[in-house]
Amino acid sequence: MKINVVKNVLQANDIVAAKNRQVFQEAGVLAVNLISSPGSGKTTLLEKTIPALADQGPSIVIVGDLQTTRDAERVADSAFQVTQINTGMSCHLYANQIAESLPGLELAQAYFLFIENVGNLVCPGEFDLGENLKVILLSIPEGDDKVAKYPTVFRAADMVLLTKIDLLGAFSYDLARVENDLRKLNPTAPLVPFSATTGQGMGEWLGWLAEQRKTKVGAQARFIHE
């Protein structure tokens, strides 16, 4: 009985997600779902990324949080548009919350749509929002055992950013363990050591986004924007 309920919720979510995906494709925007624990650096990543992408094109941000608009405020200056979704009790965004926020956004004017999910390393991995890519952030202070313990999100990842890499020396941390655990679940997603403080990994991240936009959005985007 319980399993049936969960299945129905997931199926209903997937139908809405497919519609979102079509809207993103028609608008020619690359949609990126950012997933991590609380405090792994999602908002800081956006603070650094959006200005650095400005010469490629504008970014829209949808921020999910249980409460507060703090994260939305932090990117409000650099993003083209920002929408905050307060999920209340829900530990992840649903596709229908994204769908409901789309009419207020000028998607066809943007090159990138970043969806900052609720801070949670479990549930967001199960709920498709219609995004092109799932990017998982795992920060060094969380420890080197987390990939194997939270396989759902890492299996679904298109890229894994190992954030706060500048803190590596402050912990007993086995990078090879993280890589080995990731490869068992996900043979292809790039694992990128990243620091918003030192800038390490930023070039790889930005280059990957540009490449992914070209591949995933393609001719449709060129027709609209160029």
Determine if 20 is a binding residue for its own copies (CB under 8 A): no
Q: Which of 121, 135, 156, 159 touches its own copies (CB under 8 A)? A: 121
Give the helix, strand, coil percentages of the chain, each rounded to 5.
50, 15, 30
Looking at the Cβ atoms of 47 and 126, the one nearer to its own copies is 126
Residue 9's φ and ψ, nearest 5 degrees, are -60, -45
Q: Read off the tokens for 168.
A: 């590596």
Determine if 51 is a binding residue for its own copies (CB under 8 A): no
Q: Which of 31, 85, 105, 118 touches its own copies (CB under 8 A)? A: 118
Task: Report d(CA 30, CA 77) in Å as an integer.
Answer: 20
Candidate segments 27-35, 75-83, 121-129, 199-207, binder of its own copies by CB under 8 A = 121-129
Q: What is the DSSP string of 59-90?
A: EEEEEEESS-SHHHHHHTTTSSEEEEEE-TT-
Q: Which of 112, 150, 194, 205 touches its own copies (CB under 8 A)? A: 150
Cβ count near 179 (within 10 Å): 14
Looking at the Cβ atoms of 164 and 213, the one nearer to its own copies is 164
Looking at the Cβ atoms of 74 and 216, the one nearer to its own copies is 74
Cβ count near 183 (within 10 Å): 13
Candidate segments 25-33, 48-56, 66-74, 210-218, binder of its own copies by CB under 8 A = 66-74
Residue 35 DSSP symbol? E
Interface residues with its own copies (CB under 8 A) are: 2, 5-6, 9, 37-39, 65-68, 70-71, 89-91, 118-123, 126, 139, 141-143, 145-146, 148-152, 164, 167, 170
